[in-house]
Structure 1
Amino acid sequence: MSEYSARDADDVSVGIVEKKFYTFGGGTNQALVLESGAEIGPVTVAYETYGQLSPAKDNAVLVLHALSGDCHVAGYYSKADAKPGWWENMVGPGKGIDTDRYFVICASILGSCGGTTGPCATNPASGKPYGLDFPVVTVGDMVTVQRKLLDHLGVEKLLAVVGGSLGGMQALEWSLRYPDRVAGVIALATTMRHSALAIAFNEIARQAIMTDPNWNKGHYYGGPKPDTGLAVARMIGHVTYLSDEAMRRKFGRRLQEKDAFSFQFDIDFEVESYLRHQGSKFVARFDANSFLYVTKAADYFDLERRGGAGSAVEAFAAARSRFLVVSFTSDWLYPTYQSKELVRALKKNGLNVSFCEIKADCGHDAFLIPNKRLSSLIGNFLERTRDESRF
Structure 2
Amino acid sequence: MAFGADRPLAMDAGVLLAPWQIAYQTYGTLNAARSNAILVCHALTGDQHVANIHPVTGKRGWWETLVGPGRPVDTDRFFVICANVVGGCLGTTGPASLNPATGEPYGLDFPVVTVRDMVRAQALLLDRLGIDNLFCVVGGSMGGMQVLQWAASFPERVFAAIPIATACIHSAQNIAFHEVGRQAVMADPDWRGGRYFVDGAKPSKGLAVARMGAHITYLSEATLHRKFGRRLQDRAAPTFSFDADFQVESYLRYQGEAFVERFDANSYLYLTRAMDYFDLAADYGGVLANAFTGSRTRFCVVSFTSDWLFPTAGSRAIVHALNAVAASVSFVEIETDKGHDAFLLDEPELFATTGGFLAAAARARGL
TM-score range, shorter chain: over 0.9
Pick aligned residue for 1:137 from 84, 108, 113: 113
1:372 matched residue in structure 2: 348
1:314-365 deviation per Cα after TM superposition (whole angstroms, max 9, x unaligned):
2222533110000001100000111111111111110110100111111100
- Assess if the C-alpha contact under 8 Å between 2:304 and 2:340 holds in 1: yes
Mean CA deviation greater in 255-264 or 243-252:
255-264
Pick aligned residue for 2:218 from 236, 241, 248: 241
Structure 2 counterpart of 1:95, one-letter code: R
What is the DSSP-based 3-state SS (H/G/I as helix, E as strand, rest coil) of the residue aligned with 2:308?
coil
Would the alpha carbon gap of residues 82 and 32 (structure 1) be closer, same or farther in structure 2, given more than 3 Å must change? closer
**Do structure 1's residue 89 and structure 2's residue 60 form an aligned pair?**
no
What is the DSSP-based 3-state SS (H/G/I as helix, E as strand, rest coil) of the residue aligned with 2:22?
strand
1:143-166 deviation per Cα after TM superposition (whole angstroms, max 9, x unaligned):
000000001111001000000000
Provide the C-alpha distance between the structure 2 equivalents of 1:390 and 1:216, rounded to a whole number of angstroms: 55
Structure 2 counterpart of 1:27, one-letter code: A
Provide the C-alpha distance between the structure 1 equivalents of 2:232 and 2:44, rounded to a whole number of angstroms: 31
1:27 matched residue in structure 2: 5
Percentage identity across paired residues of the two chains: 54
**What TM-score results when the alignment is normalised by the length of structure 1?**
0.91
**Do structure 1's residue 290 and structure 2's residue 290 form an aligned pair?**
no
How far 1:94 moved relative to its partner?
0.7
Provide the C-alpha distance between the structure 2 equivalents of 1:81 and 1:212, rounded to a whole number of angstroms: 24
How far 1:81 moved relative to its partner?
8.1
2:127 matched residue in structure 1: 151
Pick aligned residue for 1:322 from 298, 306, 312: 298
Mean CA deviation greater in 32-41 or 295-304:
32-41
Provide the C-alpha distance between the structure 2 equivalents of 1:151 and 1:137, rounded to a whole number of angstroms: 21
Provide the C-alpha distance between the structure 2 equivalents of 1:113 and 1:82, rounded to a whole number of angstroms: 17
**Do structure 1's residue 108 and structure 2's residue 87 form an aligned pair?**
no
How far 1:390 moved relative to its partner?
9.2
Structure 1 spans left out of the alignment, 5+ residues: 1-21
1:252-295 deviation per Cα after TM superposition (whole angstroms, max 9, x unaligned):
11112443222222211111110000000000000000000000
Provide the C-alpha distance between the structure 1 equivalents of 2:193 and 2:47, rounded to a whole number of angstroms: 25
1:14 matched residue in structure 2: none
**Do structure 1's residue 63 and structure 2's residue 40 form an aligned pair?**
yes
- Assess if the C-alpha contact under 8 Å between 2:304 and 2:312 holds in 1: yes
1:382 matched residue in structure 2: 358
Provide the C-alpha distance between the structure 1 equivalents of 2:61 and 2:108, rounded to a whole number of angstroms: 29
Provide the C-alpha distance between the structure 2 equivalents of 1:350 and 1:318, rounded to a whole number of angstroms: 8
What is the DSSP-based 3-state SS (H/G/I as helix, E as strand, rest coil) of the residue aligned with 1:128?
coil
Provide the C-alpha distance between the structure 2 equivalents of 1:143 and 1:318, rounded to a whole number of angstroms: 20
- Assess if the C-alpha contact under 8 Å between 2:57 and 2:262 holds in 1: no
1:37-92 deviation per Cα after TM superposition (whole angstroms, max 9, x unaligned):
112111111001111111111110000000010000002368x9842211112111
Runs of 4+ in 1 over 4 A off after TM superposition: none
Provide the C-alpha distance between the structure 2 equivalents of 1:44 and 1:186, rounded to a whole number of angstroms: 26
Provide the C-alpha distance between the structure 1 equivalents of 2:212 and 2:248, rounded to a whole number of angstroms: 11
- Assess if the C-alpha contact under 8 Å between 2:165 and 2:343 holds in 1: yes
**Do structure 1's residue 99 and structure 2's residue 75 form an aligned pair?**
yes
What is the DSSP-based 3-state SS (H/G/I as helix, E as strand, rest coil) of the residue aligned with 1:163?
strand
How far 1:373 moved relative to its partner?
2.0
2:276 matched residue in structure 1: 299
What is the DSSP-based 3-state SS (H/G/I as helix, E as strand, rest coil) of the residue aligned with 1:228?
helix
CA RMSD of aligned residues (A): 1.6
1:353 matched residue in structure 2: 329
Structure 2 spans left out of the alignment, 5+ residues: none
- Assess if the C-alpha contact under 8 Å between 1:61 and 1:102 holds in 2: yes
Equivalent residues in 2 for 1:176-325, closer than 5 Å = 176-222=152-198, 223-307=200-284, 309-325=285-301
How far 1:386 moved relative to its partner?
2.0
- Assess if the C-alpha contact under 8 Å between 2:54 and 2:61 holds in 1: no
Structure 2 counterpart of 1:172, one-letter code: L
Would the alpha carbon gap of residues 242 and 81 (structure 1) be closer, same or farther in structure 2, given more than 3 Å must change? closer
- Assess if the C-alpha contact under 8 Å between 1:204 and 1:233 holds in 2: yes
Tell me the number of residue pairs that the alignment of Structure 1 and Structure 2 aligns: 366
2:19 matched residue in structure 1: 42
Would the alpha carbon gap of residues 232 and 318 (structure 1) be closer, same or farther in structure 2, given more than 3 Å must change? farther
- Assess if the C-alpha contact under 8 Å between 1:176 and 1:318 holds in 2: no
How far 1:237 moved relative to its partner?
0.5
Provide the C-alpha distance between the structure 2 equivalents of 1:317 and 1:310, rounded to a whole number of angstroms: 13
Equivalent residues in 2 for 1:118-133, closer than 5 Å = 118-133=94-109
Structure 1 counterpart of 2:31, one-letter code: S
